[in-house]
Structure 1
Amino acid sequence: MPKTKGHRMIILSSVVTSTIVLLLYQTLFSRRNSIEFQECGLDCLRHDTKPFILTTPGCTIPDFDPMHPSVAKFRVKKPKNYTCSRRRPLTEARGLSLVLHRGRAEEYGVLEEQLMCEYQGIVRVEQNPDNFTMDCDKKFSLKEKVLLTDAITTIDEDGVFVTCHSNVRKLYETVHYFLQPRRSEAKRKLFQEKYGGQRGDMLSVLIMGIDSVSRANMRRNMPKTFHFLKDELGALDFQAFNKVADNTNPNMAASLMGLTEKELTETCQPKRTKFDDCPLIWKNFSDAGYITVYGEDDPYSGSFHYNRYGFLKEPTDFYNRPYMLVSHSYTRHNAGKKGSFVLCLGGEKSISVIHDYSLAVADTFRDTPYIAYYWNTGITHDEVEWASATDVPSLEYLRKLNESGVLDHTILFFISDHGIRFGDIRQTYAGLLEERLPYFFVLFPPWFREKYPEAWKSLSTNTKRLVSNFDFHVTLNDILVRGYENDTKSLPAILHGQSLFKEIPDSRSCEDATIPEHYCTCERSQQVEAGHPRLRKAAEFVVNQLNYGMAVFPECIQLRVSEVIRGRMGQSRKSVRPNEAPKTNTISVTFTTLPGKAAMEATVRQYQENFELTADVSRINKYGNQSHCISDPFYARYCYCRDLLPSVFPTIYA
């Protein structure tokens, strides 16, 4: 029966009414959510998830709720917690003095008169570049023991190792740091002469990093820190900060040197052993009169000591590595927890040791600009849930920093290098995205926004743009020359990246940002069945490439593809507009290999029948001792040592 005009009017009226009701519901629901957020606080942070982290003409990045069903199990019900010591410390550093708390002896089961404490100065052993060996930066020496007799002793060492005992029973070991004036005296004097002690807009730079924490995992397992940064401090949250390489080392090379992995090897690391000749950003700051500081909690897997890379000479004015080496040798423990963590250094949490060091530096150099780089690896590197153990310490640190007043003349970068790279979460698509999207917050002094509105406008806009480590590097350069004041002081164009003080075009793609295809999170692909023949071909191509590279290591078994787990296929991500994409397919494939059951993830380009790797192959499960037979840090991720094969193993691997 044909519809009458009146019938059509009724339908139209119903549609309009439904639309109005829906809009009213959305408005009320939005308002209700806002009220609920105020009432329930941190527990509602996860509800700010949108369909996309970023949606611009140049890049679209999907957003996964941190409590998405595929990853919800990785949120801890109660934050990981532990106690390094239930007894108060017997000693503490106070300025340039070492304080002995003899009255606490009974907590250690001895009388005051039975307590004997000594300290030894710590010296970093520097090696001759002509006789350089891979383990040179793991050495330190201890000076002669000095008996502590007074309650307060002035110390002229940069770091000391303290031991306390009763007769032959060891009671206590710890390491203390001292910011000796001699290391900064020349720069402080020059600054006073040049500027009369008036800092003006000469801002200090404080970089505080935590290893292997994605922005999503920060929301999931560090909600208090996330909330405090965004809602209390007003820090800028760069939601689409996309890493540019696999692990800490090359990502930080991009951030602090502006170099790709290839350029890093060609420019300053021909022997892949040391960083002394690298164009590290703190050298530029040092030349401009800034005091330079470096601190890390895990000296064996820190930013510039990963896989035995290191410095022949101390790279900064204040460099805590030799003292951390002593801490790890004598005081490291895990508070009874299982795992390869570095939870405690003596009676203190490892992350809190770095936080306290940072606070001491900030307080000491209120009158002189400095640049400080700190890195925390020990707690978060191995398991996604352990980010929760850093939430309260990080919150307390940020509160102390804020209350101290030092942020009035300091730019704080609160960052990570990448998300978790191993474990079950990496078997999910959300986990893949998280691994490539670390958190990146920047906090400016309260007055900066009003004084530099144009720079602030660009900064705010860029929180909703595709951003990479190279932009971080250019921004650091711009801070040095105060490029935020006006365009005339900005540095000339740099090979990679753009200053965050200038608006990034919304057309920006991963290629524009120097983000390799493999690590690009801009979505232009569709998931395909694991049995798709093209995925298998791509996986076999990748394994052939790995085997070709490992041919120089006869100790390593040639690998073969075992199983394709999942894959995605699409076109080049230069633009999200299909009519602009070239006829080149992009294939992302996750697969396992034998022997060793290695889980690999790779992205290749395919043109006709030709394949090409776009970046390093990611190893997404732990390899433990599988590659013990070689020392090469690159191929250690893939090698399975021949001597691990049982004698009855198939002859295909002979």
Structure 2
Amino acid sequence: MRRRRTVIYIIQIILIASLLFLFYFVTISDKNLFKQGFGKKIRNESSSSFSRQAHLLDNYCKFAWTEPMDNTLKKRLKFPKRAGCEKYNIDLFKRYPATGEFSMKSKAHRNKLECVAQVLKGGLRPAAHTYQLGKTQTFSPKLNKRFWINANNFILTCFSGQLVIYRKQFMGFKMDENLKLVVDGPFEIPEPKIPKFDSKQFSISILGLDSTSRAQFGRHMRKTTDLLQRMGSVVFEAYNKVGDNSAVNLIPILADELSETENMSLLDETGDVNLNKILPTKTPLNPDTIQWIWKHLPPEYITMFNDDVMHTSRGLFHYPPDNFLDGFGESPARFYYRPYYNHLYSQLSNCWRKCLDGELLAEVFIDSWFRFERIFSKIPHFGFTFISSLTHDDPNNLEMLDHTLFHRLGYLNVINFDPLVNQNVPLQRTGCLENTILIILGDHGNRVHPLNRYTFAGKIEERAPYLSILVPPRFRKLFPEKYRNLRENSQRFVSNFHVHSTLKYITSLSKNLESSRRSKSLFELQPMNSTCQDNRVISNHCLCMVDASQDISKVPNPESLEEVLRTYLADFNECFNVESLQCGNVTETLMPNNYVQVWARTKISDSEVVRKKERASAVRPKFNKVIYPYLTCNLQSKNGDSVEVFTQFRLIQLSQNITIPYPPRLSVNSSSQCSHFSFPTDYCNCVDLLLAI
């Protein structure tokens, strides 16, 4: 017995020693890899034409930036798990997400099942809210034998004798007029008619999420955010919506200037941005005559328009009725899915649900985007998908999409790592995004949930939608300066019009098109002095902050701010001599404008602003007590650099709670090898590398 214990003890020692050695080896390897990678970044940054890394605090517009987990949101936040959806249909078919093929998996009904495929049509003016049944074909599915449906919108109905045991609507692809409706065998991925992409030709994929802000995406889509970051996606930190609802925010992105507004003044009679210049309210527009961005594309491009309408009377560019005629008179794209949604929401009596027949509906809608990108990855294409129902009423519901979008992006991505384990593991890659520029965006933040109506951060989030742009490695190699500009512009104050100019630039690469006259592309360096008027943002949505000196109860104490900064810099104590920190007085104190503070979705009078503030203060004493003081300090780094630290603080006056919402901006003496870095993390990584050499 004693000998056995001794053997076990020796084995344990060997295992522990092996683990320690392995940990040491991995740590040293990771550190060496980091030094190599960051050293390359230093060389790239140094060799670029930029004197200094762009920073949010460079801008003339001091943007009201909020953290994903802002402490004013705490009581309103929820993190729902993936919905457990009840199934009421027999689980008859398996559908393959990447291709849309079906196979029967129910052994109970083999050899005695008869099914009917029916095409769904309609969804066009003058009856855009309806659908009609078209071509039909009867077939008998075989167990585990694949088939697919040659239609964009269709229903499958199956019978056991006279009893209907299965009925469901789907989105698909009508690939060939000459093929029958039900095609036996696997779906064949189409090969390009043109042998290879033009060297400057790129596909465009836009995935829109209704009522989704930058901060909301960050807190609820954590796995997806991490994956996008590792793929090289650029997130825009100061992206400001221009108007209130979906239509007024998506028209400037997807369409050229409207012919109805070309002769209108940019400013209204009050000197503010003219809303009618963006989207006229007294002239219902015909969506068929609008110059959509995809109308500029060469004929070989495949197009998709996929709008989750949420209600048969609504839908993008059908609603509101004051702005648009009742929908498209002709299909806006080759693949147009309004008939599917009309059938779906008619089935639901226009009452939205998270689930339908065992599935989270938003995942079904995401899969139509995913399938389009998978199937047409080798062919030039433009896809627009907009998912409304999950997040329109409750911003917390976005959490339920994280798992699916993470895995779908992981399948499509071309970067050589395993997204499940976050390691550089060689995998068989689909390469579906190697020719595609992927844009994920929100039209605006949530506008109706209590989180956004009654919290300080929520009112800001409503005006700061999510925007990320992922360009493939091929684009980065062809246009390295354009990619650097894109990254720099992530810190600049921009709006919807810049996204349109970016789309125009992409479409012009292989076709000589006139650039947008309304703004510069995000592939061009944006100015630091842009205002809301410059970016065509209406004042009640503008997040450029204003002077708070007339509204504050007392001037912020610079010593209290300095103490918070010292605590913040303590995380970088191997880089900075924090004891050398010296600060002056508060340089300015700002706050969001009155329209933002009182949640004004439309322009209101000054007297109405005062009335709303007084009423809110009476109901909620903490209302309108958040300010942003700014402080300039100086300190020394461990390698002898003189560093100026410009910091934006966030102060709740009632509690005197002080935080630093955004990393301070560093200005380093020009003789330093690390002088071009503005963010503490990047600068300190540079210093660490230099000290280690």
Please indicate the TM-score interval, normalised by the length of the shorter structure.
Answer: 0.5 to 0.7
Deviation for aligned residue 1:516: 1.3
The question of whether the paired residues in 1 share the 8 Å contact of 2:545 and 2:593 is answered with no
How big is each residue's C-alpha offset from its partner over 1:232-286, in whole Å with a ceiling of 9 and x where there is no partner? Answer: 21211111111111011110001111448524555xx97526411111111112x
Cα distance change, pair 502–310 in 1 and its aligned pair in 2 (3 A): same
| Secondary structure of the corresponding residue to residue 388 of structure 1 | helix
2-structure distance, mates of 1:382, 1:239: 24
The aligned residue for residue 219 of structure 1 is: 218
The aligned residue for residue 439 of structure 1 is: 466
Which one-letter code corresponds to 1:162 in the other structure? L
2-structure distance, mates of 1:53, 1:154: 51
2-structure distance, mates of 1:342, 1:210: 17
The question of whether the paired residues in 1 share the 8 Å contact of 2:121 and 2:133 is answered with yes
Does 1:262 find its partner at 2:285? Answer: no
Cα distance change, pair 71–258 in 1 and its aligned pair in 2 (3 A): farther
The aligned residue for residue 506 of structure 1 is: 528
Deviation for aligned residue 1:602: 4.7
Deviation for aligned residue 1:297: 2.8
How big is each residue's C-alpha offset from its partner over 1:448-503, in whole Å with a ceiling of 9 and x where there is no partner? Answer: 223312111211110000111100001100001129xxxxx885553322101100
User: Equivalent of 2:391, from 380, 387, 394?
Assistant: 380
The aligned residue for residue 167 of structure 2 is: 173
2-structure distance, mates of 1:70, 1:229: 27
The question of whether the paired residues in 2 share the 8 Å contact of 1:204 and 1:371 is answered with yes
Does 1:161 find its partner at 2:155? Answer: yes
Kindly report which structure 2 residues correspond to 1:614-633, keeping only aligned pairs within 5 A, or say none: none
The aligned residue for residue 242 of structure 2 is: 244
Cα distance change, pair 511–416 in 1 and its aligned pair in 2 (3 A): same
Deviation for aligned residue 1:97: 8.6
TM-score (norm 1): 0.64
The aligned residue for residue 64 of structure 1 is: 66
How big is each residue's C-alpha offset from its partner over 1:166-191, in whole Å with a ceiling of 9 and x where there is no partner? Answer: 45544322123332234899xx9998
Cα distance change, pair 600–527 in 1 and its aligned pair in 2 (3 A): farther
| Secondary structure of the corresponding residue to residue 506 of structure 1 | coil
The question of whether the paired residues in 1 share the 8 Å contact of 2:213 and 2:464 is answered with yes
Deviation for aligned residue 1:322: 1.0
2-structure distance, mates of 1:589, 1:361: 39
Which segment drifts farther, 300-309 or 68-77?
300-309
How big is each residue's C-alpha offset from its partner over 1:105-153, in whole Å with a ceiling of 9 and x where there is no partner? Answer: 64xxxx54664432212122645xxxx4xxx201211136533224355
The question of whether the paired residues in 2 share the 8 Å contact of 1:137 and 1:310 is answered with yes
Deviation for aligned residue 1:59: 0.8
Cα distance change, pair 363–66 in 1 and its aligned pair in 2 (3 A): closer
The aligned residue for residue 29 of structure 1 is: none
1-structure distance, mates of 2:175, 2:394: 40
| Secondary structure of the corresponding residue to residue 329 of structure 1 | helix
The aligned residue for residue 119 of structure 1 is: 117
Kindly report which structure 2 residues correspond to 1:199-210, keeping only aligned pairs within 5 A, or say none: 199-210=198-209
Deviation for aligned residue 1:77: 4.5
How big is each residue's C-alpha offset from its partner over 1:424-466, in whole Å with a ceiling of 9 and x where there is no partner? Answer: 2221221111001111111111232233121112111100001
Cα distance change, pair 323–404 in 1 and its aligned pair in 2 (3 A): same
| Secondary structure of the corresponding residue to residue 313 of structure 1 | coil
Which segment drifts farther, 200-209 or 296-305?
296-305
2-structure distance, mates of 1:248, 1:303: 7
The question of whether the paired residues in 1 share the 8 Å contact of 2:444 and 2:465 is answered with yes
The aligned residue for residue 636 of structure 1 is: none
The aligned residue for residue 361 of structure 2 is: 350
Which one-letter code corresponds to 1:409 in the other structure? N
Does 1:330 find its partner at 2:329? Answer: no
User: Equivalent of 2:319, from 306, 331, 354?
Assistant: 306
Cα distance change, pair 147–100 in 1 and its aligned pair in 2 (3 A): farther
Which one-letter code corresponds to 2:64 in the other structure? P
Deviation for aligned residue 1:205: 0.3
The aligned residue for residue 302 of structure 2 is: 291
Cα distance change, pair 113–290 in 1 and its aligned pair in 2 (3 A): closer
Deviation for aligned residue 1:393: 1.8
How big is each residue's C-alpha offset from its partner over 1:548-596, in whole Å with a ceiling of 9 and x where there is no partner? Answer: xxxxxxxxxxxxxxxxxxxxxxxxxxxxx99xx9xxx9742766xxxxx
1-structure distance, mates of 2:294, 2:99: 25
The aligned residue for residue 422 of structure 1 is: 448
The aligned residue for residue 413 of structure 1 is: 439
Does 1:461 find its partner at 2:483? Answer: no
1-structure distance, mates of 2:214, 2:542: 16
Does 1:474 find its partner at 2:501? Answer: yes
Deviation for aligned residue 1:409: 0.6
2-structure distance, mates of 1:154, 1:527: 66
| Secondary structure of the corresponding residue to residue 106 of structure 2 | helix
RMSD: 3.9
Which segment drifts farther, 114-123 or 208-217?
114-123
Which one-letter code corresponds to 1:424 in the other structure? P
The question of whether the paired residues in 2 share the 8 Å contact of 1:54 and 1:62 is answered with no
Which one-letter code corresponds to 2:531 in the other structure? S
The question of whether the paired residues in 2 share the 8 Å contact of 1:243 and 1:519 is answered with yes
TM-score (norm 2): 0.61
The aligned residue for residue 588 of structure 1 is: 595
The aligned residue for residue 541 of structure 2 is: 519
2-structure distance, mates of 1:341, 1:96: 27
| Secondary structure of the corresponding residue to residue 143 of structure 1 | strand
Cα distance change, pair 89–159 in 1 and its aligned pair in 2 (3 A): farther
The question of whether the paired residues in 2 share the 8 Å contact of 1:105 and 1:115 is answered with no
1-structure distance, mates of 2:222, 2:289: 40
The aligned residue for residue 132 of structure 2 is: 141
Deviation for aligned residue 1:415: 1.0
| Secondary structure of the corresponding residue to residue 504 of structure 2 | helix
Cα distance change, pair 512–368 in 1 and its aligned pair in 2 (3 A): same
The question of whether the paired residues in 2 share the 8 Å contact of 1:53 and 1:62 is answered with no
How big is each residue's C-alpha offset from its partner over 1:384-409, in whole Å with a ceiling of 9 and x where there is no partner? Answer: 21111122122122112214311111
Deviation for aligned residue 1:100: 4.9
Which one-letter code corresponds to 1:311 in the other structure? F
Does 1:280 find its partner at 2:307? Answer: no
The aligned residue for residue 567 of structure 2 is: none
The aligned residue for residue 15 of structure 1 is: none
* Unmatched tracts of structure 2, length 5 or more: 1-29, 35-53, 180-188, 258-273, 414-428, 553-586, 610-693
- Name the count of aligned residue pairs: 473
2-structure distance, mates of 1:462, 1:394: 26
| Secondary structure of the corresponding residue to residue 226 of structure 1 | helix
Does 1:317 find its partner at 2:316? Answer: no
| Secondary structure of the corresponding residue to residue 378 of structure 2 | coil
| Secondary structure of the corresponding residue to residue 66 of structure 1 | coil
2-structure distance, mates of 1:208, 1:90: 30
Cα distance change, pair 251–506 in 1 and its aligned pair in 2 (3 A): same
The question of whether the paired residues in 2 share the 8 Å contact of 1:331 and 1:346 is answered with no
User: Equivalent of 1:401, from 396, 403, 412?
Assistant: 412
2-structure distance, mates of 1:379, 1:393: 14
2-structure distance, mates of 1:146, 1:474: 46
How big is each residue's C-alpha offset from its partner over 1:266-309, in whole Å with a ceiling of 9 and x where there is no partner? Answer: 5xx97526411111111112x45422111123353443333464
Higher relative contact order (CA 8 A, sep 6+): 2
User: Equivalent of 1:81, from 80, 83, 89?
Assistant: 83
Kindly report which structure 2 residues correspond to 1:7-26, keeping only aligned pairs within 5 A, or say none: none
